[in-house]
Amino acid sequence: MVRGIYHAVVEDPNALARQVSLVEYPLGEYMHCNTPWAEIDHVLMPIRMGVRAHWILGHLDIRNRCINVYNSCWDTIRDREVVADVQSFAFVIPHLMANIDVWQAVTVNGVQRIEPLAVNLVHDIPQQHNGTDCGVFVIKYAEYFMNDIMQCMPNPFDATTERTYLASQLYKHGMHKMTEGYESDPDFLSRRERKARKAAKKK
């Protein structure tokens, strides 16, 4: 959605009003487990690069107004490619934050401007050694970050073992859902869709 609206927002920031689902994310209304971005300091987002079949982790640091990027394949996917790929996020996210009145435009020479996020590339992190493990690395980068132990992530990192562990945990979670009879967040409709269905039923 960010990439799809990027060029339109460059031309006209009001274009965000036409992308209701995207605006719902920072409002905390898209999924049940969301929290409004006005109440938090960090947002982690898996990003599939637009020109490569490769996943990277974006970390939106709300307090410092920057996006930190974790790439598990620096040897083959260079800094300039990564920076170019996340420019749409760096540009659109500040406009999203302004749209929900969390950030304000800055006046420069009498003109109001919304400055793009700074993009910081995080190096000295474990790297993959093949072309298939980027997804596992993104998940584990996020896990170590959320637990505030990024500096403890093993290097070298055994992606094969972690992939097996993740698969076993997903299976365990699925079996627990079946036996306990509950649904997890991805099984639900978005709040917007639920509201629309309720409104349709009332008619």
Cβ atoms of residues 97 and 86 within 8 Å: no
The H or E element containing residue 47 is strand 42-48
Burial group, residue 4, by CB count within 10 angstroms (0-12, 13-18, 19+): exposed
C-alpha span between 188 and 112 (Å, rounded):
40
Q: Write the CA distances from 174 to 34, 69, 169, 180, 181, integer angstroms.
A: 22, 31, 9, 10, 10
Q: Residue 170: what pLDDT?
A: 92
For 15-35, what is the mean pLDDT? 83
C-alpha span between 146 and 66 (Å, rounded):
17
- Is a pLDDT exceeding 80 seen at residue 110? no
- In DSSP notation, 156-167 reads S--HHHHHHHHH
Q: Which amino acid is at 138?
A: V
Hey, CA dihedral for 60, 64, 65, 71, is it positive or negative?
negative
Q: Place 189 in a pLDDT band, splitting at 50, 70 and 90.
A: low
- Is a pLDDT exceeding 70 seen at residue 187? no
pLDDT of 33-82, one tens digit each? Answer: 788 999 999 999 999 998 788 999 999 999 999 999 999 999 899 999 99
| Dihedral angle of Cα 19, 87, 186, 27, to the nearest 10 degrees | -50
CA-atom Rg of the chain in angstroms = 19
pLDDT of 129-181, one tens digit each? Answer: 888 999 999 999 999 999 999 999 988 889 999 999 999 999 998 898 889 88
Closest by CA position to 70, among listed 103, 93, 42, 102: 42
Predicted structure pTM score: 0.84
- Is a pLDDT exceeding 90 seen at residue 18? no
- Is a pLDDT exceeding 70 seen at residue 184? no
Cβ atoms of residues 30 and 44 within 8 Å: no
C-alpha span between 144 and 89 (Å, rounded):
23
